[in-house]
Structure 1
Amino acid sequence: MLQMQSALNVATNGAEWRSGLTQLGKTIDWRRCIYMETAELIDSYPWKHWKSVDAAVDEENVRVELVDIWHFILSLALEKFEIDQAAELLIAALDAASQKDAVDRDSQLMQKIAMHEAMMTVALQTDPVDEDYLVKLLGCFFDSCAVAALDFAQLYQLYMAKNVLNKFRQDHGYKEGTYIKVWDGKEDNVVMFEIIREMSNFSGDKLYQHLKLAYTQLD
Structure 2
Amino acid sequence: MDTENFLYGFLGWLAGVLAPVITDGIKEGRRTVRVRQAIKSELHGHARRLAIAYKAVETNRGRFKRAEIEWVRGVILRHRGEDALVNALGKLLAGSDGELEALAVLSSTNNLPALRENKLPYLTSKLPTVESFQERELQALLAVVEQTEQFNSLARDAEYWGRQTFVGSDADRQRSSNNAVTSLENASRKAKDVVDEIEAYLALPEPKLA
TM over 0.5: no
Give the greater-gyration-radius structure (CA): 2
**What TM-score does the superposition give when structure 1 sets the normalisation length?**
0.30
Which gives a bigger RCO, structure 1 or 2 (Cα 8 Å, sep 6+)? 2
| Structure with higher helix content | 2
Taking structure 2 as the reference length, the TM-score comes to 0.31
